[in-house]
Structure 1
Amino acid sequence: MKFIAFNVRSDEEKYFKAWEKQNDVQVECVAAPLTTEKLDGLAGYDAVLTLQTGTYPEKMFEKFKEVGVKVLSIRNVGVDNIDLKAATENGILVTNVPAYSPNAIAEFSVTQLLQLLRNTTLFRRRVAAHDFRWAPFVGKELRSLTVGVLGTGRIGRAAINIYRGFGAKVIAYDLYPNPELKKEGIYVDSYAELFAQADVITLHMPATAADHHLIGAEAIAQMKDGVYLINTARGALVDTEALIAGIKNGKIAGAALDTYENESPIFNHDLKDQPLKDTVFKELLELDNVLITPHVAFYTETAVENMVTIALKSAQEAVTKGTTATLVNQ
């Protein structure tokens, strides 16, 4: 059995090598992304492993079928930018990693909120300028706030537990409520109801066509004045221009964004000394009450190991058994 993995970072390599040795499966690691030019070189490989972010070559699955690749194994959760219909039509199995470390993302989202509530970015800038005054940046205590959680899957539930530990009131909305949480009565009946009640809105849901720009001008207008927005989920959930307008007019007190709707050309690239071509993103960066991180909420040692090993195991099972628990196009 022979696999090839694309977009392999240096922090992933040791986990690939350890799994390869333990399972007697040849795994070739490539730092570059999968491109059209590389499709012709895939003959002889049983599975291709790559990351969800970015774009994929046109007619990729047709080429997989032609050269004998049986499985595409994604080292992430999201498969919203993968043509699953084309994969199925060409007999290619697609797998993902449904949960590599829910706590990593949940902890990060709360960390970012705490920074917003205590104005740490503003204080860092003042201290760097040798201005050690406090006012006017008085903070807020999390226990005094109502946190609205959109999406109560593994990550959302982990976040709920952390927020409760701080003493915050938690409400939630999910199209598919968790039975245990439903018994506790934390769910509201609509997005609008959550928007109207929450001091903090934190996103932990997948991106679908129906939820594109869920957080837009109309939704923001329904929110409480001075609301905080945390997005460690998917960039497409937020209309960035509407968000900027909400921040500038004071409707939104602060936002923490670990993902951005047009992030692929920016995140995980070294762009220092280069002008930013994305004027909307540049405007975000200039806002004092916006925290931007380059899609790193997941990025812990535990999560990286799980992403690699689960993706490899899924590919192995899919090749040998024709199915696996992480199959997404069955």
Structure 2
Amino acid sequence: MKLIDYGVRDDERPYIEEWSKKNNIEVKIVPELLNPETIELAKDYDGVVAYQQLPYESAIFDKMNEFGIHVLSLRNVGVDNVPFDALKKNDIRLTNVPSYSPTAIAEYSVTGLMILLRSMKSMIRKVDKHNFMWAPDIGRELNEMTVGVAGTGRIGQAAIKIYQGFGAKVIAFDKYRNPNIEKQDLYVDTLDELLKESDVVTLHLPSLGAGNTVINKGSIANMKDGAIVVNTGRGDLINTADLNDAVKSGKLLGAVLDVYENEVGIFNSDRTGQELDDKLLSEMIENPKIIVSPHIAFYTTTAVKNMATISLDSMVDELNNGKSDNEIDLG
């Protein structure tokens, strides 16, 4: 068995090399992303592993089929950038890593919130200029707040435990209720109810499709004055321009955004000293009440190792058994 792994970062390489040695399976490591040109490197390999935010072009799968490769294993959760029709046409199975570290993302959501509540972005900027005045950057306490957790999958459940540990009142909403959360009587009946009752709304939902935002001008109008939005889920859950306007107007106290609807091509790139073409993103970065980070909630050693190794394990299961627990139903 020979595998090829695309888009591999330096932080992933040791885990892939360790897995390869442990399992005595050759894995060719390719730093470049998977595209119609680099797929040529996969000839004579048995399976393709990849991770990227850019769309996977249909021509990739035509070539995989030509090479006799019929499994693509992703090192991430999201599959919205993969054309299922092209996979089905070429009889290619798809796997992902549905859970690589829910705790990492849940912890980060709280970390970002605490930075915002204690005005750390503004305070750090002041101290860097040797301004050591306290005011006006007075903090707020999480234990006095109601936190609304939208989405109670693995990440949402982990977030609930952490927020409860701070002493916050937690309420939750999910179309599909989790029995463990239901036992705690945390659920509200509608997302609108959660938005109205929460001082903090933290999003742990999958993408709802283009144009189907949870946070927008209409929903913001129904939120508490001075509420906070935390998003470590998907960028397209929020109409970012509406959110930015709400923070600037004072309707919302602030926001923590680890994902952004237009992040592809910007996040995980070095733009040091360059002016961003994205004026909305630039404006939010400058605003001390908006915490922006480049999609790093997942980015821990534990999560990176799991992404690298679980994707390879799934590939082996597919090739040896024709099925894995992480296979995606292509419909």
* TM value normalised by structure 2: 0.96
Q: Which residue does the alignment assign to 1:41?
A: 41
By how many angstroms is 1:211 displaced?
7.1
Q: Which residue does the alignment assign to 2:117?
A: 117
CA contact (8 A) 2:7 2:52 kept: no
SS at match of 1:312: helix
**Any stretches of 5+ residues in structure 1 without a counterpart?**
none
SS at match of 1:3: strand
CA contact (8 A) 1:75 1:96 kept: yes
Output aligned runs, 1:22-61, within 5 Å.
Answer: 22-61=22-61
Output aligned runs, 1:1-330, within 5 Å.
Answer: 1-209=1-209, 212-329=212-329
Counting aligned pairs with the same residue, the percent is 47
Bigger mean CA offset, 270-279 vs 90-99: 270-279
CA contact (8 A) 2:58 2:86 kept: no
Q: Deviations over 1:38-57 (max 9, x none)?
A: 22332212211111422222
CA contact (8 A) 1:84 1:329 kept: no
Q: Deviations over 1:140-192 (max 9, x none)?
A: 11110000001100011000000000110001111111012112211111111
SS at match of 1:306: helix
CA contact (8 A) 2:57 2:83 kept: no
CA contact (8 A) 1:52 1:79 kept: no
By how many angstroms is 1:5 displaced?
0.9
* TM value normalised by structure 1: 0.96
By how many angstroms is 1:63 displaced?
2.3
CA contact (8 A) 1:52 1:78 kept: no
**Any stretches of 5+ residues in structure 2 without a counterpart?**
none
CA contact (8 A) 2:207 2:236 kept: yes
Aligned residues between the structures: 330
Matches of 2:275 and 2:122 in 1, distance apart? 24
Letter in 2 for 1:207: S
Matches of 2:117 and 2:211 in 1, distance apart? 27
Bigger mean CA offset, 54-63 vs 301-310: 54-63
Matches of 2:21 and 2:129 in 1, distance apart? 53
CA contact (8 A) 2:56 2:83 kept: no
Cα distance change on mapping 1:212 and 1:60 into 2, 3 Å = farther
Moved over 6 A (4+): none
Bigger mean CA offset, 157-166 vs 84-93: 84-93
By how many angstroms is 1:279 displaced?
1.7
By how many angstroms is 1:329 displaced?
2.3
Matches of 2:292 and 2:310 in 1, distance apart? 29
SS at match of 1:303: helix
By how many angstroms is 1:210 displaced?
7.2
CA contact (8 A) 2:49 2:311 kept: yes
Letter in 2 for 1:265: G
Letter in 2 for 1:296: I
Cα distance change on mapping 1:210 and 1:263 into 2, 3 Å = closer
SS at match of 1:163: helix
SS at match of 2:16: helix
Matches of 1:30 and 1:52 in 2, distance apart? 12
By how many angstroms is 1:280 displaced?
1.7
CA contact (8 A) 2:33 2:52 kept: no
Matches of 2:242 and 2:144 in 1, distance apart? 27
CA contact (8 A) 1:149 1:203 kept: yes
By how many angstroms is 1:251 displaced?
1.1
Bigger mean CA offset, 44-53 vs 233-242: 44-53
CA RMSD of aligned residues (A): 1.4
By how many angstroms is 1:234 displaced?
0.8
Bigger mean CA offset, 130-139 vs 221-230: 130-139
Matches of 2:177 and 2:105 in 1, distance apart? 20
